[in-house]
Chain A
Amino acid sequence: MCNALGIVNFPGSNVRIKGMHDYRPIAAFSFLGRYRMIDFPLSNMTNSEIEEIQIYLKNRPRSVFSHVGTGRQYNINSKRGGISILYGENSPESEFYNTDIASFKANMRIIEKSTKDYVVIAPSYMLYSMNYDTLLKKHLESGADITVVYKSVDDAKTRFIDCDTLALNKQKGILSIGKNRGNYKTRNISMETYVLSKNLFIQLIDEALKVSSLYWFTDILNEKCEELDIRGYQYRGYLAAITDLTSYYEANMELIDPEVASDLFKEEWPIYTRTNDSPPTKYTEDAKVRRCVISNGCMIEGEVENSIIGRGCVVKKGAVVKNAVICPNSVIGENVYLNNIVVDKEANISRVKNIQGVCGSPAYVRKGDRI
């Protein structure tokens, strides 16, 4: 049992996925065919034996509600602890008032009610696997007020754009929190994963509101860097941040490689998701499949290469799908040619025979679209 309340937070304005975001919050994005983004932080939490979990959402909660449900699929005990899905019920006059701090404040009573002494906060737009119970132990050993998880990356010029960065002293103390504008190769990317005591967390929320109604949690942390002992904790495994359509596409693509995937999916650290009771996938006489990740419930009659195919998709005869992320329940019609593309859920492409994005900037087909 882990003595922490788990909080899955929504991202700030640095995350904007053209198209897909119109239909659901990032927590509910389909990922790697059978998952949704929220499966990763939730599985990390339940595998770490965190038994009280709060999921914060800004808007459009429907798909998260139906996916997460009671949380049983994540191994959440339905009697002790449980999952609450919370969203700001007072609609602010302007979108920019919709901060995580405002949302925490609105749900303060539920946070106070938690029986746990600590909180672990994780973002819904980052993918990694990590044991938070170990993290909490490290935090307690260090004696720090707040621990912030980060990863040192050397591709910050092209990836993790607009994510938080940490300036650290030699003792891993955080001097300040900045933004990655893509100007430098190596950066300490903040994974927006925080451990602190519940009391300090509540205190920081109130203090943030006193300073500015537009403050996010990261803003108040930045302001407290000198006053409090805030330290970095380095993570070395797989990390992806989904901030735009390209990074969404690239994270899917790179996880086709089993070596990369084995850094995220570990045998002793399962990633849970809601089952859809799909049958195994069927391949016909004409199927031709190379280097792909394919979910259950599909019917593959055409050619698929270097792609991710979501649950319940149909690739018809003569179709060629290359370098594509096809979200669940889409139909790729006969003789359709797709390359460098993200196809959102339940789309049906049959009349237009050729859609291609350019390398590095994938094309996007809307949810439920008929083409």
Chain B
Amino acid sequence: MKQQMLAMILAGGRGTRLEALTKKVAKPAVYFGGKYRIIDFPLSNCANSGINIVGVLTQYESIQLNSYVAGGGHWGLDAKDSGVFVLPPREKADTEFNVYRGTADAITQNIDFIDSYDPEYVLILSGDHIYKMNYAKMLAHHKENNADCTIAVLPVPMKEASRFGIMNTDESGRIIEFEEKPKEPKRKITSMGIYIFNWKLLRKLLNDDDKNPDSHHDFGKDIIPTMLNEGKRLWSWRFEGYWKDVGTISSLWEANMDLLYRSKELDLQDQTWKIYTQDKCAIPQYIGDHGDIINSIIDQGCYIDGKVEGSVISTSVKIGKDALVQDSVVLPECQIGEGVQLHRVIVANGIKIAPNMVVGDPNSEEIELISKNVR
């Protein structure tokens, strides 16, 4: 059935900077905020923005991601005309079999999938950002400006700017310059990696790009510069709100802490823009006789008999008597023994920490990832 706008989520990244957390799962499937996975954010945004069909482009360890998103039921994307589809590279008749060579190539290899819905517009998203955005508003902006492509932008601190695409706009918001991950950024208005394209035009650009042997097959490096050179109408859309790229252990930790310290900006309680996720059938959390919980987030299925302060505790974690968990993120199904002390760490899912161990350092600058059992 014809769709006005289709969303394609780029979830191929291996996420090596997340270390052992992404050893068995793709980055978008990493746990966040007590009960969510990172990809719940773009998927919930799609569902809440009225987008019915979402493709998830992945090639690294896609089994867990696939079993997680398949069907789309967790986000309500399972009505007759909607669905979430995991799209790993596949072999096709009369073409060479290739892995996705770049962000643009991932879309090129799925032109047939997109065509089957005959959309007017295609929304390109990244699977590793934490934010809440109404894409319908962005589309309205795109239409108002009669744009060929609209890029969501936001200001970032100069020191972080080199991690992103940096752009220059005129007064009306039209983009006149674009640089992907520059070594020395000149400005600090950055691309969020969220694009709306007119599908007919993008389809042509992708087919051309596919034939170009010098191309990186990347949106930031190839497609956007080509459009600028050709004088296409590229518009920026200024996003105001919380946004975080959780590509590293410390930024993943920070984003979790933002749920405690910046909850006005990243409000998960907001009933008008819920973030959906898989529901585990866990019993409600139990806080024992020795439990003491201060400024923390705790999910269902937990059994807490120790002190938890400034921390995010995920589904079905057990924390023993006299344990102290401080400024830490504990992922699902961990067992923290009696008398354990945790400071400034992320504990990977399913890890066991034996009684009375001290892990992490309250004065450390760094956030440590605990991905092996501590005995």
Contact = CB atoms under 8 A, between A and B. Distances in A.
**Real binding pair:** yes
Interface of A: 32-34, 72-73, 256, 258, 261, 265, 270-273, 275, 277, 279-285, 287-297, 299-300, 308
B286 A293 contact: yes
A288 B307 CA distance: 11
Interface stretch (B108-116, B144-152, B272-280): B272-280
Interface string B263-274: 100001100001
Contacts, number: 105
A292 B295 CA distance: 17
B281 A291 contact: no
Given A265-B283, A296-B299, A282 B288 contact: no
B291 interface: yes
B295 A284 contact: yes
A73 B278 CA distance: 11
Contacts of A265: 283
A289 B308 CA distance: 11
Chain A CB within 10 Å — which of B263, B287, B291, B303 has the most? B287
A308 B296 CA distance: 19
B127 interface: no
B298 to A, nearest CB: 6
Given A280-B314, A283-B308, 4 more contacts: A280-B312, A285-B295, A292-B286, A294-B298
Contacts of B298: 280-281, 283, 294
B301 to A, nearest CB: 10
A207 B349 CA distance: 59
A275 B285 CA distance: 15
Nearest to A72: B73
A187 B287 CA distance: 35
B297 A281 contact: yes
A294 B284 CA distance: 6
Chain A CB within 10 Å — which of B34, B263, B276, B279 has the most? B279
A283 B35 contact: no
A349 B173 CA distance: 50
A283 B296 contact: yes
B209 to A, nearest CB: 39
B283 A294 contact: no
B191 interface: no
Given A32-B284, A34-B284, A279-B33, A297 B269 contact: yes
B281 A270 contact: yes
A283 B276 CA distance: 21
A360 B289 CA distance: 22
Interface of B: 33-35, 73, 259-260, 263, 268-269, 274-277, 279, 281, 283-289, 291-300, 303, 308, 312-314
A300 B292 CA distance: 12
A293 B289 CA distance: 12
A275 B36 CA distance: 14
Nearest to B283: A265
23 contacts: A34-B284, A258-B288, A273-B281, A279-B35, A280-B34, A280-B268, A280-B297, A280-B298, A280-B299, A282-B263, A283-B308, A285-B294, A287-B294, A287-B295, A288-B292, A289-B293, A291-B288, A292-B286, A292-B287, A293-B285, A295-B284, A296-B299, A299-B269
Contacts of A275: 279
B308 to A, nearest CB: 8
Given A277-B276, A277-B277, A295-B300, A283 B284 contact: no
Given A34-B284, A293-B285, A293-B286, A279 B275 contact: yes
B305 to A, nearest CB: 9
B272 to A, nearest CB: 13
A32 to B, nearest CB: 7
A272 B281 contact: yes
Nearest to A271: B281
Contacts of A256: 286
Contacts of A283: 293-298, 308
A202 B259 CA distance: 58
B295 A280 contact: no
A283 B325 CA distance: 14
A36 to B, nearest CB: 13
Contacts of A261: 283, 286
A292 B275 CA distance: 26
Nearest to B290: A290
Contacts of A297: 269
B268 A279 contact: yes
Nearest to B78: A72
Nearest to B300: A296
